[in-house]
C-alpha cells in the first residue's frame, strides 16, 4: 500500500489514545505503512453541557467523522463503539472491532464503594441507563447530569460537586487511571451500553484495500458479541434516548450468551432477560432476545423515551 492512510479521530485525550492504539496495530500488521491521525471536532465535543439523552439525533460523536470518511478526507475512523449508532450511513461499514478491554461501569467516589455512600448522596452520570440501574440498586441516592472531558468529571468527584460519578471502566483503564476506580460495578445490576469497552473501526464499504488493512485488528469473539448486541438494539427500535443495555459473552462450544436490559425513562421500571445460541450466527441471538423482551412488554418502556 503506497498511499498515506489517514485515521479520523475526535480530539479528546481518550480518543487520541484509542486512535494511536489502532495506528500501532496497523503498523505492526503492515510495517512501513505511512499513516497519520486527523483530529475532527464533533457536535458532542462542541456542546459539553447538554445531557446526552436530550440531543435530537443520534451519533453526536461520530457524524462529522462519517462525513469526512464519505468525502474521502480520511480513510478510516476510530470510535468508542458504544457511540456508534446501529444504522450506519450508506457507503460506510464497520470494518473491525478491537478486543474488548472491560465492559463494566465504574464508580469513582471518596466514599469508596456503592454500599458506603450515605443516603441522598448525589451521583453524577451522563447516562439515563446508568442512573436508572443505580436507583434500582440504591433508591435512596440522587443523580445529577455529568458532562465534560474525563478530567472535568474526575474533578467533580474529588471537589464535592458530586459524592461520586459513574463512567465506563475502559475509558479510565485506557488513560492509565484505573487506580482512580473505587468499585467496578457488578454486571448483575449494571448492564453496560451496547459495545461498551470495545473500539469500532469504520471504513468506506467499497474500500477493499482498507478493509484488508484493518482485518488483523478485528477480534473474532468481540465481533460476535458486538453483532449480537447491536442487532438486539436495532431490533428493539430504541434510539439514543432509550435506556437499553446489552452484553454478549462467549461461552464454550461456540455458544454466545446475550443479556439485555430495557428500562422506562418515566416509570423507572426495568426488564432484563437473556438468550443463548450459536456464536457463528450472533445476529439471530440478538433478534431472538429482542422478540422475547418485546413479548415481556419492552415496547411500552421504549415508547416512554420517544418525544411526545
Within 71-181, residue ranges assigned H as helices are 128-137, 150-158, 169-174
Residue 87 is a catalytic residue: no
Judge whether 125 and 143 are in contact, CB under 8 Å. yes
Question: 278 is written with which cell numbers?
Answer: 450459536
Quote the CA–CA distance of 102 and 184 in Å, as a whole number: 10
* Rounded CA separation 42/52 (Å): 13
* 258 bridge partner residues: 248, 275
Q: Minimal CA–CA distance to 240: which of 99, 73, 50?
A: 50
CA-based diameter of the chain, in Å? Answer: 61
Spatial contact of 201 and 96, defined as CB atoms under 8 Å apart? yes
Q: What is the DSSP letter of 73?
A: S
For residue 61, which of 42, 40, 87, 35 has the smallest C-alpha distance?
Answer: 42
Here the cell at position 93 is 461499514
- The catalytic position among 45, 71, 75, 83 is 83
Phi-psi region of 253 (alpha: psi -120 to 50; beta: other; left: phi over 0): left
Distance CA(245)–CA(127), nearest Å, equals: 11
Contact between residue 35 and residue 26 where contact means Cβ atoms under 8 Å apart:
yes
Distances (CA, A) of 241 to 30, 69, 152, 193, 272: 40, 26, 23, 12, 18
d(CA 145, CA 126): 5
Active centre residues (catalytic): 83
Amino acid at each position: 500500500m503506497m498511499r498515506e492512510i489517514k485515521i479520523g479521530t475526535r480530539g479528546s485525550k481518550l480518543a487520541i489514545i484509542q486512535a494511536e492504539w489502532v495506528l500501532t496495530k496497523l503498523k505492526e500488521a503492515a510495517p512501513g505503512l505511512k499513516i497519520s491521525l486527523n483530529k475532527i471536532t464533533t457536535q458532542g465535543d462542541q456542546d459539553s453541557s447538554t445531557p446526552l439523552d436530550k440531543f435530537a439525533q443520534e451519533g453526536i460523536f461520530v457524524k462529522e467523522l462519517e462525513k469526512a470518511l464519505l468525502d474521502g478526507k480520511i480513510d478510516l475512523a476510530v470510535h468508542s463503539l458504544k457511540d456508534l449508532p446501529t444504522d450506519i450511513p450508506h457507503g460506510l461499514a464497520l470494518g473491525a472491532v478491537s478486543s474488548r478491554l472491560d465492559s463494566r461501569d465504574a464508580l469513582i467516589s471518596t466514599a469508596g464503594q456503592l454500599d458506603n455512600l450515605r443516603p441522598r448522596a448525589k451521583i453524577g452520570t451522563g447516562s439515563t441507563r446508568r442512573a436508572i440501574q443505580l436507583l434500582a440498586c440504591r433508591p435512596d441516592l440522587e443523580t445529577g447530569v455529568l458532562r465534560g472531558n474525563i478530567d472535568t468529571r474526575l474533578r467533580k468527584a474529588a471537589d464535592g460537586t458530586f459524592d461520586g460519578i459513574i463512567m465506563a471502566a475502559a475509558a479510565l483503564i485506557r488513560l492509565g487511571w484505573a487506580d482512580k476506580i473505587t468499585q467496578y460495578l457488578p454486571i448483575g445490576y449494571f448492564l453496560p451500553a451496547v459495545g461498551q469497552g470495545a473500539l469500532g473501526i469504520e471504513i468506506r464499504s467499497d474500500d477493499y484495500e482498507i478493509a484488508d488493512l484493518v482485518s488483523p485488528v478485528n477480534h473474532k469473539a468481540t465481533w460476535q458479541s458486538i453483532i449480537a448486541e447491536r442487532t438486539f438494539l436495532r431490533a428493539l427500535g430504541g434510539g439514543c434516548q432509550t435506556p437499553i443495555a446489552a452484553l454478549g459473552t462467549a461461552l464454550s462450544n461456540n455458544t454466545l450468551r446475550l443479556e439485555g436490559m430495557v428500562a422506562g425513562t418515566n416509570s423507572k421500571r426495568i426488564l432484563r432477560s437473556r438468550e443463548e445460541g450459536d456464536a457463528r450466527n450472533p445476529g439471530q441471538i440478538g433478534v431472538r432476545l429482542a422478540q422475547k423482551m418485546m413479548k415481556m412488554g419492552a415496547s411500552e418502556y421504549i415508547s416512554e423515551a420517544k418525544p411526545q
